[in-house]
Amino acid sequence: MVSSTQPVLNDQYDVVVIGGGPAGAATGALLAEYGHSVLVLERSQFPRFHVGESLIPETFWSLKRLGLVDWLRASANPRKFSVQFFSDGHRASRPFYFDEYKQCESSQTWQVWRDEFDQRVLERAAELGATVHTDAAVLDVLFDGDVATGVRVRITDSDGSKSDREIASRVVVDASGQSAFLASRLGLKDVDPWLQKGSIWNYFENARRDEGERDEGATLILQTADKKSWFWFIPLKDNVTSIGCTGSMSYMFPKGAKPEETFERELARCPELVERLGNARALHDFHTTKDYSYYSRDGAGPGWLLVGDAFGFIDPVYSSGVFLALKSAELAADAVHAAFEQDDLSTDALGGWQVQHREAVTLFRKLVFAFYNPDFSIGSFLKMHPQFRSNITDILIGDVYRPEVGEVFEVMGDVTPPSDRQTADTSA
């Protein structure tokens, strides 16, 4: 387990991982399992708060490789069998039951408290042999020319004393999440011009859930009228539900408005959610996130690479964040191991996997466009083209690494939301 006593650090490791969230912890765990010396540096103390509680089905295979499925099965986390969409705040779609598409063990997943989940993944990295130091703020990545050679880090020891260290490594993995540490410093981070969104969220006790084992843990996505905003509804254990509202920045954060005022304004436009919150109470002050959709133009270079949200983040609507974090960690760990075996730490050796990964991310992004486009209805599209229901389901469950999945967009065409397309064109 991750100890409250901080470890003594060496001066050099095979790999230094910046960030101990799911992407960094999983990368560190798998590289340590391969037998490499790995240091995971996390700036926060764990457990730490994080939003993004819903796991999509294909996350199962990464969790199985990490040895965490039995832990989740034994937990009290709600089981998730489906996702259901509501349009105009009240019109329900047929649920997307995962096992109706694919009858296998991955067709049931979980809704998790991220503080518990993230800590368990980080503990797994330590169990497999990675050195984990929390309360460690990376100040810079060290380069010799264009080759990454290590990091400069400010560590806080168990007695509270702070010191700056330079630690050498053959490979630096940036898993710093939405701070995108290395991409920002190298000028590689671009805000997605089509998805300039923001969210307001809270946790509610006693929100009404659907009844029955297959439905009580379902993720609900509820669009308000004219697709100006949408709510997520994610059941968690202990009768708590994560509920958040997302929309364009200007719409969600008008001048002078408090977050709770905007939340209540949009709640009034979503009758289904009003009913579900009839006997509920908010547990905390409202949280906000702004300008979070972005991508990195390059994801690797000599001696360095990006994983998880440090590589890019799309949008919360399809709960793809943890899946892409863990999947990119798997692909990165395998690539780094192969690069060590071949003694080749070039850009292609470390980042070749990112071509396919970026294509997979693009499928999520295009489906997000379809969701936000007020002139497009996924439900109506599937009525006209029922043969593509499996393609849409593939994306919803995370089965996005097969090229044929994207064929649906050849028929769907350009679904970039018109208002967002205009904003992007004028800002380019």
Which residue ranges make up each domain of the chain?
Answer: 1-77+112-191+295-391, 82-110+197-290
Q: How many CB atoms lie within 10 A of CB 88?
A: 15
CATH 3.50.50.60 matches 1-77+112-191+295-391? yes
pLDDT-based confidence at residue 221 (cuts at 50, 70, 90): very high
pLDDT tens for 9-53 read: 999 999 999 999 999 999 999 999 999 999 999 999 999 988 999
* CATH topology identical between 1-77+112-191+295-391 and 82-110+197-290: no
The pLDDT, as a whole number, for residue 427 is: 36
The pLDDT, as a whole number, for residue 175 is: 98
What's the burial of 333, exposed, middle or buried (CB within 10 Å: 0-12/13-18/19+)? buried
* Across 237-260, average pLDDT: 95
Whether pLDDT at 135 is above 70: yes
Q: How far is CA 155 from each of CA 138, 224, 377, rounded to the nearest angstrom?
A: 8, 46, 51
d(CA 26, CA 121): 7
Whose tokens are 């630690």? That residue is 167
For β-strands 189-191 and 312-313, DSSP reports them as unpaired
pLDDT tens for 273-319 read: 999 999 999 999 999 988 678 889 999 999 999 999 999 998 889 99
For β-strands 304-306 and 300-301, DSSP reports them as antiparallel
Determine the residue type at 59: T
pLDDT tens for 330-366 read: 999 999 999 999 999 999 999 999 999 999 999 999 9
Q: How many CB atoms lie within 10 A of CB 309?
A: 26
| pLDDT: which is higher, 126 or 100 | 126
13 within 8 A of 166, measured Cβ to Cβ: no
Residues of the chain above pLDDT 90, percent? 83
The pLDDT, as a whole number, for residue 425 is: 40
pLDDT tens for 377-405 read: 888 999 999 999 889 999 999 999 998 99
d(CA 390, CA 194): 26
Residues of the chain above pLDDT 70, percent? 96
Q: How far is CA 139 from each of CA 30, 100, 136, 144, 408, rounded to the nearest angstrom?
A: 25, 49, 9, 17, 44
Question: Which contacts qualify for 158-161: CB closer than 8 Å, 24 or more apart?
Answer: 158/4, 158/5, 158/6
d(CA 55, CA 219): 10
Whether pLDDT at 424 is above 80: no
Whether pLDDT at 4 is above 70: no
**Which residues is 247 bridged to in the sheet?**
198, 229
| pLDDT: which is higher, 72 or 191 | 72
d(CA 50, CA 21): 10
d(CA 263, CA 281): 14
Residue 137's contacts (CB-CB under 8 Å, 6 or more residues apart) are 43, 153, 154, 155
Nearest Cα residue to 170 out of 297, 39, 30: 39
Lowest mean pLDDT among 64-73, 113-122, 188-197: 188-197
The CA-CA-CA angle for residues 378, 382, 385, to 5°, reads 135
Six token digits for residue 107: 């067709």
Nearest Cα residue to 139 out of 169, 178, 167: 167
Nearest Cα residue to 309 out of 22, 39, 9: 22
pLDDT-based confidence at residue 417 (cuts at 50, 70, 90): confident
pTM here is 0.94
CATH 3.30.9.100 matches 82-110+197-290? yes
* Distance from the Cα of residue 182 to its chain's centroid: 18
* Distance from the Cα of residue 292 to its chain's centroid: 11
d(CA 408, CA 410): 5
